[in-house]
Amino acid sequence: MLKFGTDGVRGVANAELTPELALALGRAAARVLGGDRFAIGRDTRRSGPMLEAALCAGLVSEGVDVELLGVAPTPEVAWWSVTTDAPAAVVSASHNPFPDNGIKLFAAGGRKLPDDVEERLEHELQVLLDDAASPRDAPTGVGLGAVRTVAASAQSGYRAAVSASLAGRDLAGLRAVVDCAHGAASVVAPAVLSDLGVDVEVIHADPDGTNINAGCGSTHPQELARTVAERGADVGVAFDGDADRVLLIDATGELVDGDHIIAICAIDRHERGVLAGDSVVVTVMTNLGFRLAMDKRGIHVVETQVGDRYVLEALESRRLHLGGEQSGHVIFRDLATTGDGLLTALQALDVVTRSGRSLADLAGEAMTRLPQVLRNVPVAERDPAVAERLAGPIAAVEARLGDHGRVLVRTSGTEPLVRVMVEAPTEDEAEAAADELIAAVEALDRA
């Protein structure tokens, strides 16, 4: 059985993540999360309608009414959960390749599930799968849940809500190239940006069920960078498949990643006196240059383990408003309950518009990025204890780098990969250290 990772369950659709599993998960969610209504949104993968239907069937069979949002960004589904105060699910594998799919769940109020609730779900799911052939008491007749489609109203409401985050301001005068990754952003992002006065050119917004994230979007921003430079645009905006993260491109074609976006927005809020606690929350993957830049400006940095859920937990427990990840998954807790690529783009472009400065100037002044090498090493099985098992090689590299570098080795929360990150004073030093650690990971995997 698939286990919950850092972002729900995820696997190859119809092989690891089957309709049978989705149906059982729907039943388990109805029992554990409670309530009499539930919303489901999905991205543009071919397997999406299949898994949506199975998940919906499981919920309805437990007497829960289901509202179908159709193709919708993950943050739209979270927003709908907030507005209706009902649980919700997104059928999406986010930035993963097209054959994969996943199911991520929100509790009523648009919040991702805490560990203890996920454990209860896993237990209930296992019970249902073990007892699938056993007779059961089940609702019949009017006891069954009803299904209705609310895609149009959900999308228009979300568009209005995300635009309202600018408090009446617009983004007139900006020229942007927007890469929708052939994903869920295609149905909403270009329209919102255009409505706010941006001169928009759209690429990769023709999903066919198989081309999501394929050589485009935030995981492959190279074509967007070329297009921005060729068109003389002010900015490029690159979403991932479910639009909960975003990366930007400046007018010179340079990438502006999540670290820079958070730095720009943190400094802007700090200078305006509206950065809650004069603090920002980031993960262990955040570049050392970010920490140095925040320290210089008197902004406190709170660090969490990798995963936006942990960033959100720190934001809520400390009553802070801004945090996120280098990947472009940014949370404005005073404006949303989860990472929102479109909201993040609007907030960053608002700083550009209000300041009258270019994105390149803002990013360059916000922080200086230390050379960082990040490698994904395929492994046979996910091993959460990989860092402990490689303590010797990691300690050797750390001793060599001293205070001028940083090392992180961790298992992916969603894929059979070990992520190796090294920061060092020079690119060559970072590359050499990463190669050394990758060799250690591969040797361990073969053992």
Number of CB atoms found within 10 A of residue 300's CB: 14
Q: Which has the closest alpha carbon to 73: 247, 241, 324?
A: 241
Distance CA 60, CA 54 (A): 10
- 396 burial class (0-12, 13-18, 19+ CB within 10 angstroms)? middle
Q: How far apart are the first and last CA of the chain?
A: 25
pTM, to two decimals: 0.88
Helical segments of 236-340, H only = 258-272, 288-296, 308-318
pLDDT at position 131: 82
Cα–Cα distance for residue pair 290/423, rounded to 1 Å: 12
pLDDT for residue 208: 97
Q: Which of 61, 81, 92, 94 is catalytic?
A: 94
The ranges assigned to domains in the chain are 9-156, 162-254, 256-366, 372-446
DSSP annotation of 397 = H
CATH number for the region 256-366 comes to: 3.40.120.10
Element (H, E) at 418: strand 417-423
Query: Rounded to whole angstroms, what are the CA distances from 138 to 19, 37, 56?
Result: 20, 17, 16
Do the domains at 9-156 and 256-366 have one common CATH topology?
Answer: yes
Rounded CA Rg of the chain: 22
* CATH code that applies to domain 9-156: 3.40.120.10
Write the CB contacts of 392 (distance below 8 Å, at least 6 apart in sequence). none
* Rounded-to-integer distance, Cα 171 and Cα 58, Å: 44
Provide the residue-wise pLDDT of the chain in tens; the chain has 447 residues: 666 766 688 999 999 999 999 999 999 999 999 999 999 999 999 999 999 999 999 999 999 999 999 999 999 999 999 999 999 999 999 989 999 999 999 999 999 888 889 999 999 999 998 887 666 788 999 999 999 999 999 999 999 999 999 999 999 999 999 999 999 999 999 999 999 999 999 999 999 999 999 999 999 999 999 999 999 999 999 999 999 999 999 999 999 999 999 999 999 999 999 999 999 999 988 998 899 899 999 999 999 988 888 999 999 999 999 999 999 999 999 999 999 999 999 999 999 999 999 999 999 999 988 898 999 999 888 888 888 888 999 999 999 988 778 898 988 877 889 999 999 989 999 999 999 999 999 988 887
* Superfamily of domain covering 162-254: Alpha-D-Glucose-1,6-Bisphosphate, subunit A, domain 3 (3.40.120.10)
Q: Where are the beta strands (DSSP E) in 124-278?
A: 147-149, 175-179, 199-203, 235-239, 246-250, 255-256
Nearest in space to 296 (alpha carbons), one of 270, 259, 332, 326? 270
To the query of whether residue 94 is one of the catalytic residues in this protein, the response is yes
For the record, the structure tokens of 132 come out as 């699938």
Integer Cα distance of 88 and 75 in angstroms: 11
Q: Angle CA(48)–CA(53)–CA(213) in degrees, nearest 5?
A: 5
Question: What is the rounded distance in angstroms from the CA atom of residue 331 to the CA atom of residue 308?
Answer: 8
Q: Which fold has domain 372-446?
A: TATA-Binding Protein (3.30.310)
| Nearest-angstrom CA–CA distance, 56 and 49 | 10
